[in-house]
């Protein structure tokens, strides 16, 4: 990725000047205080996943890759944009670009 975008927000190395800029930008959004505020929403999405697994019952195979992708996308959508995909209630995964 770095070869394509160069020294950027997510590709800066710690010994480069842009790393400090990137660190300050990201810490504002993902520092302890921000994560603490997001925690209830993160917990809500995780609980939805656990409820889905409970509904499936014992002995049912779980697609971990699919479930963790849904967990990640639902969490980002809710915490960053206040939007609920509710992907645990859809059989088909929507393409999200």
| pLDDT tens-digit map of 65-76 | 999 999 999 999
Please tell me the predicted confidence (pLDDT) of residue 93. 67
Whether residues 40 and 68 share a domain: the answer is: yes
Other CB atoms within 10 A of residue 41 CB? 17
The pLDDT assigned to 96 comes to 57
Same domain, residue pair 65 and 94 = yes
Total structural domains within the chain: 2
In a shared domain, residues 51 and 93 = yes
Asked if 42 and 14 sit in the same domain, the reply is: no
| Residue 97 scores a pLDDT above 60 | no
- Same domain (yes/no): 88, 44: yes
Same domain for 48 and 90, yes or no, is: yes
Which residues form the domain of 42?
Answer: 36-97
Q: Are 25 and 49 part of one and the same domain?
A: no
pLDDT tens for 12-67 read 788 888 888 888 888 888 889 999 999 999 999 999 999 999 999 999 999 999 99
Contacts 24+ apart (CB under 8 A), 10-15: none
**Same domain assignment for residues 18 and 41:** no
pLDDT of the residue at 8: 72
């Amino acid at each position: 990725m770095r070869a394509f975008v160069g020294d950027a927000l997510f590709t800066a190395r710690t010994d480069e000047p842009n790393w400090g800029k990137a660190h300050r930008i990201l810490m504002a959004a993902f520092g302890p205080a921000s994560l603490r505020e997001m925690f209830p929403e993160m917990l809500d999405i995780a609980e939805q996943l656990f409820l889905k697994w409970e509904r499936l019952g014992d002995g049912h195979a779980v697609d971990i890759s699919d479930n963790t992708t849904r967990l990640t996308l639902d969490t980002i959508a809710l915490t960053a944009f206040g939007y609920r995909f509710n992907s645990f209630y859809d059989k088909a995964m929507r393409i999200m670009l």
